[in-house]
Amino acid sequence: MDIRLQGYKYMGAGLATIGLTGAGAGVGIVFGSFLIASARNSSLRNELFKSAILGFALTEAVGLLVLMMAFLILFM
C-alpha cells in the first residue's frame, strides 16, 4: 500500500472522530438539563429520568456511528 494512502486514511479517520466531541457535549447537555428539571420539579423525576436515558441513548448512538465510520476508513 502506498504510504500516502495510509496517511490519508489516518487523516480521514482523525477528522471523522471530531464528531465524538459533539456526542460528548450532547450527553453533558442531556444530563445537565435533567438535573435542572428535576431540581425544579422533583415530583416528575422518574418521568424525566426516562426521557434523559432516551436522550443519552440516541446521543451515544450518533457517537458510535462516528466511531464506526472512523474504523471503516482505517481498515477498508
User: Which CATH number does the domain housing residue 29 bear?
Assistant: 1.20.20.10
What's the mean pLDDT when you consider all of the chain? 94
Helix axes of 3-16 and 45-75: crossing angle, nearest 10 degrees: 170
Query: How many domains is the chain partitioned into structurally?
Result: 1
Question: Domain range for residue 31?
Answer: 3-75
pLDDT at 37 over 90: yes
The residue-averaged pLDDT of 25-31 equals 95
Q: What are the cell numbers at 9?
A: 486514511
pLDDT at 23 over 80: yes
Percentage above 90 pLDDT, the chain: 95
Indicate the pTM of the whole model: 0.79
The residue-averaged pLDDT of 21-37 equals 95
Q: What Cα–Cα distance (Å) separates residue 49 from each residue in 26, 28, 54?
A: 16, 14, 9
